[in-house]
Chains A and B, each alone.
Chain A
Amino acid sequence: EAGVAQSPRYKIIEKRQSVAFWCNPISGHATLYWYQQILGQGPKLLIQFQNNGVVDDSQLPKDRFSAERLKGVDSTLKIQPAKLEDSAVYLCASSFTASGNTIYFGEGSWLTVV
């Protein structure tokens, strides 16, 4: 069974530029999450989708971050404009149900903002 796919794996951009990350969850998983992991910290939820609807985006900095899951499968996370403090790993995860006791993560997209 294929895991959660993410791209690009690595990205370096200058501050105030924009960047987009793509995620394809495990087949059949209705719930998709984007987490941000800053070096030395545990992952922190940015947004949770159930199919193509948003369940929780309370920790998403909406002035610069946006995410969509238009057809209930793939998802894109965008940052515009990027700040230095956005340097982190952006992890996509998915689970079969919203109760999410088995959440599987992708390899992550590593962002450096210079």
Chain B
Amino acid sequence: QKEVEQDPGPLSVPEGAIVSLNCTYSNSAFQYFMWYRQYSRKGPELLMYTYSSGNKEDGRFTAQVDKSSKYISLFIRDSQPSDSATYLCAMNYGGSQGNLIFGKGTKLSVKP
């Protein structure tokens, strides 16, 4: 079983839809959880990070962590064509082990 599982999609939604992106993980030692957005031919861009279970909101984006279920989500409200990208979940153990363990990424397309 991979440490981090993420459905690669592709996921296609109409403009204005609510998008739900998810990852599951197997190692309960993970401490920090991040979501990155990666446009074609670009590097990953940090969207949000969370530490504890619960929700964190930033504009149209909400990150949710459920440590008991080993499940994280990213919700995008009022999706825009500019949100079309690959979304990568990532997590690490904290401390001196800062390196990130990534999911495969979900490719999202928002149609006007």
Contact = CB atoms under 8 A, between A and B. Distances in A.
Interface string A34-48: 000000111111001
B26 to A, nearest CB: 15
Given A91-B43, A102-B49, A48 B90 contact: no
Given A101-B49, A104-B46, A43 B104 contact: no
B43 A108 contact: yes
Interface of B: 4, 6, 8, 32, 34, 36, 41-46, 49, 51, 88, 90, 92, 94-100, 102-105
A50 interface: yes
B58 to A, nearest CB: 13
A45 B104 contact: no
A31 interface: yes
A47 to B, nearest CB: 9
A10 B34 CA distance: 28
Contacts of A102: 46, 49
**Closest 7 A-B residue pairs measured CB to CB?**
A100-B98, A42-B102, A105-B43, A45-B99, A101-B32, A98-B96, A107-B43
A48 B42 contact: no
A103 B98 contact: yes
A55 interface: yes
B102 A44 contact: yes
A48 B99 contact: yes
Given A42-B90, A42-B105, A100-B92, A108 B98 contact: no
Contact of B102 (A43, A50, A106, A110): A43
Given A40-B8, A50-B96, A105 B102 contact: no
